[in-house]
Amino acid sequence: MHIAEPCVFDTVLRMRTNAGVRPVEFCGNMMMQNATDMEIAVIKPNSCITIEIKHDDKLSEDFQAYVQVALLYTSMSGVRKLRLHNLALPVSSNLADLYKSCDMDTVVNSLTKEFGKALVSSHSYKNLKEQLLQRVSNSLACYRQNCAAPSQPGQLILPETLKLLPLYSHCLLRSPALMPSVEVSFDEKSNLLQRLAMMTVEETELFLYPRLYNLNTSTLGNEGMPPIIRSSYDRIRESGAHLLDNGLVLILWVGANTPSKWLQEVMGVTVLDQVDPTVGNLQPFDNPTSIRIRGIIDEIRVKRKQHLRLNVVRQKDKTEHIFMQFLVEDKTELGMNYTDFLCSVHREIRNILS
């Protein structure tokens, strides 16, 4: 968190809507003493609260649905202020219009917070897994039945705006915040759930599907970020290094066959066994490769809310499982890989339609 970051205190937030729609679910780090007012100690520019609005009455397509958010707060100068945000939303009975205007990033953010909140109250990962699979399958089956062009029953048809919904749903089930694991303590899980409750849309995407950068010399380039590869062990090359970033963790994975020249230029050693996994940061060396990689790490850090410590993992080392748990497309002891999950979603859709 930046010390000079602006913020407001002692806030009370309330949402008002016109007849026919109403707020029903609230997710975030807040306290509610009644059914309408959300009391939040501090709000910063990147704070995020999710509110689910339910449609429970007939709405005319000739009119719009109106939403107003009122925020009462104390400024940094101690002045009590009120801020209003008004939003007018179009009304449509056409499901095709609904799917065309769907924002998948916001849907994923909402699902993540909803199921994180549900885990705290139910403590049943198995039930949450079944509920998420059912929710995703129902949404995609509805599109297939009402919006998609006729096609073969065995073909998986996804709306353009929700093509990655199965992937992010799989990643949510793989998240250490939800998935049972002896590697994650209760304190760590509690901390992750608290962070999830206030994550922005961009932060949720990055947390669920980490960015995996290829740091091989041939792909580094001279500016910008290096190429991003899919989050799977099959995509990793033993003859190089990769940098993983999920917004909360920064891991430098070094392959068993990484060239000694790269190790010398970046790590200051000539063989992998001499790499110190506890360094926490890279030493500065006066060569283009070292300067380039340290610049990439600095560019990632400056975008995050807190300083990210660099964790170095050597291939086939006993700590490699820490790195592998973030490779969300792969199979684990408690969960299937992404391909198998996508097949299970497809089967569920076919069952619903039949």
38-86 tens-digit pLDDT: 999 999 888 899 999 998 888 888 889 999 999 999 999 999 999 999 9
Query: Could you tell me the pLDDT band of residue 2, with boundaries at 50, 70 and 90?
Result: low
Q: What is the DSSP string of 34-95?
A: SSSPEEEEEE-TT---EEEEEE-S---TTS-EEEEEEEEEE-TTS-EEEEEEEEEE-----H
- Please report the pLDDT score of residue 56 as a whole number: 85
190-236 tens-digit pLDDT: 999 989 988 999 999 999 999 999 998 777 878 889 999 999 999 99
pTM higher than the cut 0.85: yes
Please state, in angstroms and as integers, the Cα–Cα distance from residue 255 to each residue in 249, 259, 319, 332, following that order.
Answer: 19, 9, 13, 21
- Rg of the chain taking only CA atoms, in angstroms: 23
- Please report the pLDDT score of residue 180 as a whole number: 84
Cα 330 from Cα 226, distance rounded (Å)? 23
268 token code pair: 């200051």
Residues 58 and 42: beta-carbon distance below 8 Å: no
- Please report the pLDDT score of residue 286 as a whole number: 94
- Please report the pLDDT score of residue 160 as a whole number: 94
Category of 224 on φ-ψ map: left (φ > 0), alpha (ψ -120 to 50) or beta: left
Asked if the model's pLDDT at residue 337 lies above 90, the reply is yes
Q: Which amino acid is at 330?
A: D
23-50 tens-digit pLDDT: 999 998 899 999 999 999 999 888 899 9
Asked if the model's pLDDT at residue 304 lies above 90, the reply is no
Closest CA to 272 of 306, 241, 311, 233: 241
